[in-house]
Amino acid sequence: MARQILLGGAWVDGKGKPFNGINPANGSVIDEIGTPSVEQVNQACDAAWTAARKPAWRNMMGHQRAAILHRAADVVMERKESLARAQMLDNGKTIGECREQVVGTAGIIRYFAAVCETLEGEVTPARGNFMSMTVYEPFGVIACITPYNSPLTLGAQKLAAALAAGNGCVLKPSEITTISSLELGRAFVDAGLPEGLLSVLPGNREVGRAMIEHPKTGMVSFTGGTATGRAIAEMAAKRLIPALLELGGKSPNIVFEDADLDLTIPGIPYAAFSSMGQSCTTGTRLFVQQSIFKDFLKRLVEHTSRIRIGLPPDEKAMLGPCSSFRDRERIEGYVAKGVAEGGKIEIGGKRPEGAAFAKGAYYTPTIFTGLDNNATPCREEIFGPVLCVLPFKNEDDLLAQANDTVFGLAAGVWTRDFGKAWRTARALDAGTVWINTYRQSSVACPFGGFKESGIGREKGPQGVRVYQQAKSLYWGLGALPWHKDLAAK
């Protein structure tokens, strides 16, 4: 029997065509996953709309709504090991990283609970005989669509914020990470979320399309690739509903000649290869100043060779497999293109050896040199452990190359010079810039991209506001201009 779907807070059999969830570590079937019919998608959206409009939720005090979210965070932590293992089986992340992400998931939910309890409206400066103020109302139903790389944290980032804002949610996770996403939904429901407010609907793009096209859906929140994001934006535009889009990246990571190399060189493999390079912010274009390029590259290759690839349950493993076999095929295709375009593989570029890896979607961290910034691996998001190393002469040359991309999600700068770090960070076309670090993250900071890396911002207090719409209220303090004339006998 296929695993049930979450529809309006209840566990039901999906009426769509089921599919198999595959463990990328060994190719085995984890479970058969049920999917909804279009009719069930419509039921989910209707249920979320009805529940969100009920006074019990719509008029619930902020601290009461926050209490439900805090209980959801408690449930997540109580199920830390089972949630971590569910994600590990889904997408092949190491068990250590999965446990860290469960803790992060609970932290995200708690943060938005705190924001929910402390959000305020504003009294605005009056420009007449009235008092004016701004309040914020939920959109009603949020269609949430998440990718496979971090289903727990990214799912919580959308659900907790949208629920804190007073909405109902319908979540479609990636087909690769359905089990962990369903279990995240279970945590919210078991924490006492009112009936109808949340559905988790596994399935293909047709499920997502039905969610977006439903007349009760008031907003779309999507994290994933730019091509899919553009298609979602078109669907949302036809309905004149807002779309929050966190899309792809091709992030430059910049090393100046005055950088602290003992800090920088171990940091670069983490920026490029952690999570198997399957992160939208991964520093996949490494710009190294010409004067230190040769020696830096030698040390970088040496440090990269120390990365431990292992089976996901291995507590000492630094990397597991790619999230799917299809992902590995795509990565191998990009490596082949890099070689065809004149690139030299300094390390990696192949599957790891050994019987333990034979049945899984494993791939070794790969470093390219000899490519210019116009090469295919330097222009397109690979979403895998492939790093292109390019030289630059000076700040002007660096900025010209770093900003020569359609993406603008993130960047890194390594230097001891505060002024240089400030100038470079401000000049980079990126929504996040790390200075002498990389991939550090805070739910309290806005996150999103420039250019084709997205529209809007998640996280921070505005991570709740983005799921609300402003309403102006005017309180009259006296008569209107015609009162005297019209009231005269």
Tokens at residue 133, please? 């103020």
Spatial contact of 173 and 151, defined as CB atoms under 8 Å apart: yes
Sheet of 130-138, strand order: 122-124, 130-138, 468-476
Beta bridge partners of 388: 285, 368
**Active-site position among 172, 175, 458, 459:** 458
CA distance 424 to 252: 12
**Active-site position among 158, 172, 250, 459:** 158
CA distance 387 to 385: 7
CA distance 220 to 296: 44
Total Cβ atoms within 10 A of residue 50: 18
- The residue behind tokens 């020696």 is 295
- The residue behind tokens 């007449």 is 128
Sheet of 454-455, strand order: 10-12, 5-7, 198-200, 168-172, 141-145, 219-223, 243-246, 454-455
Determine whether 120 is exposed, middle or buried from the number of CB atoms within 10 Å of its CB (0-12, 13-18, 19+). exposed
**Active-site position among 246, 332, 381, 452:** 246
- Assess whether 158 carries a catalytic annotation: yes
Spatial contact of 200 and 185, defined as CB atoms under 8 Å apart: yes
**Active-site position among 98, 116, 144, 280:** 280
Determine whether 440 is exposed, middle or buried from the number of CB atoms within 10 Å of its CB (0-12, 13-18, 19+). exposed
- Assess whether 458 carries a catalytic annotation: yes
CA proximity to 89, closest of 11, 183, 15:
183
Catalytic residues: 158, 246, 280, 458
